[in-house]
Every structure is written in structure tokens, then in C-alpha cells.
Amino acid sequence: MSARLSGRLARLLNLVPYFTAHPGISAAEAARDLGVTPKQIMDDLNQLWVCGLPGYGPGDLIDLSFSEDSIVVTFTAGMDRPLRLTSTEATVLLVALRSLLEMPGVVDPSAAHSAIAKIEAAAGSAAAAHVPAGAERPVVEDPVAAQVRAAVRRGRALHLTYYSASRDTVSERDVDPIRIVLIDDHTYLQAWCRSAEAVRLFRFDRIDAATELTEPARPPHRALHDDEHLELFAGDPSLPAARLRIAPGYTWLLDYYPLGEVRVLPDGGCEAVLRFASPDWMARLAVGLGAGVTVLEPPELVTAVRARAAAALDAYAALEAGTPSATGM
């Protein structure tokens, strides 16, 4: 579900109790309270008018009397009833909240702990029996993650110190935050990078420092509603490419590196392309993976990997002989 749709769903779910608590309020006043436009309020009310409980007959649908001057809910269709959780539902919700606490920047830890305490108090011993070991320990939010989350909430630009794994470099850059996303068990800041002039994903555990700027975030309009930037494995075509042969037992690399042009081999292995910015980083990676990966091209990378592997073997041989190696390794 896109951020736009999920945001509207949350707003729609809150409109019935809101208007029930504020009978006769105008669309303009409600828009100010809810941070949207009067037109959006009227569009939401027209949507709510055909929503309700399963059955969807006249007696099941939410009923409203509304105009731009006055909005009154005449039938809530149960939307004002307190939510009652079964022990299983409470346990699932508690597990989900605790999982979110482990993801930096996704939620405010104090708010999550407060929600957990309330659910546990309401669910009683049934939910407490399913508390995993160590879950009662409070999670302290990383200061960098807190700074990024606060800037996103306040709509402020950020100055980041960021480590790029593919380039093996640390860079300084100013970004305009768009949102925080969770992809494959990692938290990312999606933002417009002013130096790259494009949308980029910044993994939270690779942000070394974050400073909120005084200016508001102003990502281009085209960057706000395009989810194609959430694709992690879209390699930069301007970077050099290494063609690799990956052994059958090493195909897990497909889940951890931005490999493209994958061709499955008869033995269960594969050939794939990995783009890189730093030849030294690429050579270190290939040598570190040992026999699991063979570099096929480009020729200069093949030569670099062979030289690094030979130097490592010389170092081991010198260590066994008790003499210093020529490479100093």
C-alpha cells in the first residue's frame, strides 16, 4: 500500500470518532485540526458515506449529515465502539510492536513502550505468558536515528555523514527527507539527495551522523509519489560492472548484494553482474568470498583479484616459515 493510501485510510478510520466528538463542526475547522484541506475533508466524508460493517445495507453503513458549514454523524455503524482484542490478537500486536522497536527510526520508543504497557494491562496474563525472554528490557533509541526521525516528522532538511558500502567511502551530503521505509528487515531514509540530484535510500545503520538544518525539506514533486526508488537492486549504469560466477553454495549473495543480469547455471550456481565504484572494495570482496565467487571480467579486476590472493598466500607462507612477508601482510 502506498504512503498516500495508508495515510488516507488512517484518516478515514479516525474521522468517525472525531466528528462524533465535535458535532456540527465546519469542514474548514476540521481541516485545520486534521492538517488537510477542506476539499479533502469533503472527499473523505463522501467516501465514508458508503462505508460500514459487512452486509453493507442501509442499516450497516455509516450515516452522516454534512455540508461545508456543519458535519454531524448520525449513525456510527459501530466505529465508536472500543476495540476488544482476543489474547491471540493482543500477543500478535505485542510481538509486532517489539519488532518495530528493534528497527531504528521506525517508531518513537517511548510511545511504543507506552502502547505495549497498555496492551499488556488490558490483556492480562494471557499476553504476558507470550512475552519473549528479554523483551521487558527498554530499548534506548540511537541518537542519530532519533534525529533523522525528528527531521522527517518536522519536515526539515538534513546534513548526513554516510558510509556507502558499494563505494567504500564516507561522504557528506544535504538531503530533503521524504519518508522512512522498512525493506528486508532494514530501516531506510528515503530522501532527495541534493548532490546526486536524485532520490536515494540511506540505510540507518550506515548514517554516521545527522544534523537537522533550519531550512524545510523541499524534495521535487515528482519524487514524492514514485515508489520506483524503493527498488534497492537497481544498479547505477554509470558504474563499472564485474561479471561473477557464483558457486551453488553461495547463491545467498543474491539476497545481500545488488546483483543483476542473473543467469542460472546447470550446477545450481549462477553468473551475475555487480556494479562497483571502488576497484579495491570489489577486489577485497571477491578475495574474501574465496572459492565461492570467480571474477570473469573485466580483465583488470581479474588481475587485481589474483594479485591480492597471491599476496595473501605469500603472507600465510611467510607466517608459517616465521619470516616477514614481502608484502608486509
What pLDDT, on the 0 to 100 scale, is given for residue 82? Answer: 53
Asked whether residue 176 falls in the same domain as residue 248, the answer is: no
DSSP-assigned beta bridge partners for residue 25:
71
> pLDDT at position 175, please?
93
- Domain, as residue range, for 45: 3-75
CA neighbor of 51 nearest in space, from 6, 3, 1, 16: 16
Q: Rounded to an integer, what distance in angstroms lies between the CA atom of residue 31 and that of residue 20?
A: 15
Residue 235 lies inside a defined structural domain of this protein: no
Q: How far is CA 245 from CA 162, 278, 287, 296, 308, in A?
A: 31, 20, 13, 7, 18
What is the per-residue pLDDT for 6?
Answer: 47
Co-location of 247 and 317 in the same domain: yes
Tens digits of per-residue pLDDT, 22-45? 889 898 888 887 777 888 888 888
**Are residues 263 and 317 part of one domain?**
yes
Asked if 109 and 141 count as a contact pair (C-beta separation under 8 A), the reply is: yes
Quote the pLDDT of residue 294.
93
In a domain, 326, yes or no: no
**Partners of 104 in beta bridges:** none
Q: What is the DSSP letter of 25?
A: B
Residue 146 CA to residue 155 CA, distance in Å, equals: 14
pLDDT score for 297: 92
Secondary structure of residue 219 in the 3-state scheme? coil
State which of 211, 230, 249 marks the end of a domain. 230
Closest by CA to 211, choosing from 140, 156, 165, is 156
What pLDDT was estimated at residue 230? 47
CATH of the domain at 23: 1.10.10
CATH code: domain of residue 181:
2.30.30
Q: Give the total number of structural domains in the chain.
A: 4
Residue 29 sits in the same domain as residue 59: yes
> From the first residue on, what is the mean pLDDT of each consecutive set of 10 residues in the chain (329 residues)?
50 76 87 80 80 61 81 74 67 77 72 78 58 53 86 91 75 90 77 85 88 91 59 58 91 78 89 84 86 92 91 83 57
Q: Of 75, 100, 115, which residue constitutes the final position of a domain?
A: 75
Whether 327 is in a domain gets the answer no
Shared-domain flag, residues 149 and 224: yes
Model's pTM, two decimal places? 0.45
CB 243 within 8 A of CB 192: no
Task: For residue 140, count other CB atoms closer than 10 A to its CB.
Answer: 8
92 belongs to a structural domain: yes
